[in-house]
Amino acid sequence: MSDTPRSERFLALTGLTPDALRVSLGEPATLAAVLDFLCAHEPDLVAAADALQIAPSEFAAARERLER
């Protein structure tokens, strides 16, 4: 399955361009936006977790760590 629809939806919701996303990937706000996006839609969360071979709950845990 292609991630194109997911990535297009993410960019549309955040207003980021692909270039701006690449430049800001190390920024806590961008990381939080990605994690929020994934956690807000279970099919995206599960697909991303499967692709990375991690438990979906690890995304939520990572998001919590960013808040500290």
Question: Comparing C-alpha atoms, which of 63, 62, 47, 65 is closest to residue 7?
Answer: 47
**Residue % of the chain over a pLDDT of 70:** 97
Query: 61: pLDDT confidence band, cut at 50, 70 and 90?
Result: very high
Contact 22, 11 (CB under 8 A): no
Q: What is the reported pLDDT for 1? A: 52
H helices of 1-68, where?
A: 4-14, 18-24, 28-39, 42-52, 57-67
Average pLDDT in the chain: 91
The residue written with tokens 């919701």 in the block is 13
